[in-house]
Each structure stands twice: as structure tokens, then as C-alpha cells.
Amino acid sequence: HAKEAERGTASVFDPVMHLRATGRLRAQSELRTALAEEQFVVHYQPVVALDGGALTQMEALVRWNHPDRGILLPADFLPVMAETGTIVVLGQWLIDTVCAQIAQWQQEYAGPVTVAVNLSHREFWATQLLSTVTTALEQHGIGPESLILEITESVIMSDPDAARQIMSDLHAVGIRMHIDDFGTGQSSLHALRAFPVDALKIDQSFIHQIDIDHQTTELVRIIVGMGRTLGLEVVAEGVETTAQADRLRTMGCATAQGWLFAAAVPGEEAGRMLGRPLGPRVPTQR
Ligand code: C2E
Ligand code: MG
Ligand code: MG
Ligand code: MG
């Protein structure tokens, strides 16, 4: 199964329990060591046009290549980092690393490259977010149109007025904002209209129910339609089957992301996908 393949050699060791048990100070020193020893890696998953398969952007997804425990996925370590606040430091490293990768790809491939970065609550509300991002863009000599920031509805709704201000500041320098896991939160498309949002990413739990649950299928159709009406790009997350892709295309959904096209892969491998269309692949193929 592709998810297991993605997990690599992840062990039964539970890093969440471990970090929780060892406490905040230990977590911070482990993070520093991991950053210093370059144990974190960024994998990239293509987002493709459903019509034609052109790669439109990449999503950066962090992994922890732990010396003893193998490749750890975000769910294994981000919750504790969010609790302790170390996620902000990881995020700063990630934004810098992604900008360096964009600069390298733009040189090698000589075309526009756009990468989306996920922001957790803590990262979004960190006072230095705007300067972290603009500094990284400047240092690597890339334009704001190369970077997308993904946040969830719950980040916005936790303090809508303050969130609108932060999003507007980011937008003002040219950075696009995407709503991740759309449909799982409490907000309505109508409420989101008041925010500088460029795209909705429909949560994979909806996509996996296409043609299985009638109501969810219709909900996806409505989200796609309303998104288009509001002039938003709509991305379907977690597309695993050609049936899902076909149905989404018929609904008018322009872009998708999922194992049907490609899993998240290391930068070098992702770079080889730039500039060539990605058709559906056999799920067992990596
Ligand atoms: P997300 O942003 O919604 O990312 C999509 C997740 O779905 C990724 O899991 C990706 O590997 C997985 N995925 C992609 N295609 C498919 C598919 O076809 N089927 C299925 N079942 N899954 C698919 P991953 O990499 O484990 O990341 C999980 C979550 O962790 C992300 O959800 C995001 O919220 C968070 N995350 C990942 N990297 C970062 C990061 O650098 N910073 C922050 N703050 N959060 C991150
Ligand atoms: Mg995301
Ligand atoms: Mg998502
Ligand atoms: Mg998610």
C-alpha cells in the first residue's frame, strides 16, 4: 500500500509519547539537534491540472529522517512540536529550505515553480511570520508568486479579524493563501469571502467518499461550483483513483493532488517532474 511505502521503515516506537514523557526542554534540545544534524527533510507532492496533467504547483511536506526510528511523518512529531512551540522554529527552517529549493529549480528548469507550505496555528500567529517569509524570499532571490501558504479554516476562525489583517499583509506582498482541508471546519464559503483567499483544497475525506456516499458526492459538487463562482481555484486532495479524477473533472474541478498522480517525494525526484505532464499512475508504482 502506498501509505506504507511512504512511511518507509517507521518503527513501533511512539515519538509522540516519547516527547511528551521527556518534556518541553528535552523536546527543544532534540529539535535543535535534529535541525543541526539535518534530520528533517522536505518532500514535495505535485498538484496537477485534471485536464492534461500539467504540474501547477508542489506542496512541501516535512518528514523527520530519524537516525534510529526511520522516516517519521508529520502526525508523529508535529503535535508535540505544536504543544511546545518548537514548530515555529521548524517552520522557519522549512520556509528557508523551500525557498532555496525553488531558487534551484528555477535555475535548472528555467520555468515558474510554485510551492505551497503548510502553516500550523502557532506559525500563523507568530509575530515574525511576515518577516520570516519576506526575508527568505529576498535571500534566495525569488518572487512572492512562487510561494503559497496553506492554513485551515480553524486558524482563521479562531480570531477572524486578526487573521484577516495578517492574511491581507501577506497578500499585499504578493503571497497567495490557500484554505487546507476545506470542509472539515466550521466556516462557510460565504464567511470566507471576507478573507483574501485564493484557493480551496477540498479535504481528502470528502474525495474518498466520491461515488461511495451520495450526499458527500453532491457536497463536493457544491463546493467546486461555489468555489468557481467566487473565483477561487479548487484543488481536490487525496485523489487515489481514476474514477475520482474523472468525476472531479466532470464537476469542473480544475486541479488535484494525490497518489494517483504522485506521492510526496524528495526534492531531487520532485525536480524531475517539473515541466512534464503527470498522468494517472498505477498505485503500486512509486
Ligand atoms: P495536508 O496539508 O492536508 O497534506 C496532505 C496529506 O495527505 C499529506 O500527508 C500527504 O502525504 C497525504 N496524501 C497525499 N496524497 C494522498 C492520497 O492520495 N491519499 C491519501 N490517503 N493521503 C494522501 P502528510 O505528509 O502525512 O502530512 C499530514 C499533515 O501534516 C498535512 O496535511 C499538514 O497539515 C501537516 N504538515 C505536513 N508538513 C507540514 C509542515 O511542514 N508544516 C506544518 N505546519 N504542517 C505540515
Ligand atoms: Mg496542506
Ligand atoms: Mg489537506
Ligand atoms: Mg491535513
Under DSSP, is residue 81 helix (H, G, I), strand (E, B) or coil?
helix
| The pLDDT of residue 136 | 98
Task: Give the DSSP per-residue string, 158-221.
Answer: HSHHHHHHHHHHHHHTT-EEEEEEETSSS--HHHHTTS---EEEE-HHHHTTTTTSHHHHHHHH
Determine if ligand 1 sits within 6 Å of the CB of residue 80: no
- Kindly report, residue by residue over 112-167, the tens digit of the pLDDT: 899 999 999 999 999 999 999 999 999 999 999 999 999 999 999 999 999 999 99
Question: How do 40-49 and 265-266 pair as beta strands?
Answer: antiparallel
| The pLDDT of residue 23 | 64
State in Å: Cα 176 to ligand 1 middle. 19
Report whether pLDDT(209) > 60: yes
Which ligand 1 atom sits nearest the alpha carbon of residue 43?
25
| The pLDDT of residue 245 | 98
- The protein residue with its alpha carbon nearest to ligand 1, atom 3, reads 181
CA separation for the pair 168, 173 (Å, rounded): 9
> What pTM did the predictor assign?
0.91
State in Å: Cα 158 to ligand 2 middle. 18
pLDDT-based confidence at residue 22 (cuts at 50, 70, 90): low
Decide which of 13 and 123 is more confident.
Answer: 123
State in Å: Cα 118 to ligand 2 middle. 5
Question: How do 115-118 and 147-152 pair as beta strands?
Answer: parallel
Percent of the chain topping pLDDT 70: 89
Q: 2-16, 17-31, 56-70, 271-285 — which is least confidently predicted?
A: 2-16
- The protein residue with its alpha carbon nearest to ligand 1, atom 8, reads 61
Whether the CB-CB separation of 119 and 82 falls below 8 Å is answered with no
- Contacts of 46-49 with CB under 8 Å at 24 or more apart are 46/257, 46/261, 46/262, 46/270, 46/273, 46/278, 47/116, 47/235, 47/255, 47/256, 47/257, 48/255, 48/256, 48/257, 48/261, 48/277, 48/278, 49/254, 49/255
Report whether pLDDT(1) > 70: no
Q: What is the mean pLDDT of the chain?
A: 90
Report ipTM (2 d.p.).
0.98
Residues near ion ligand 3 (Cβ under 5 Å): 180-181, 237
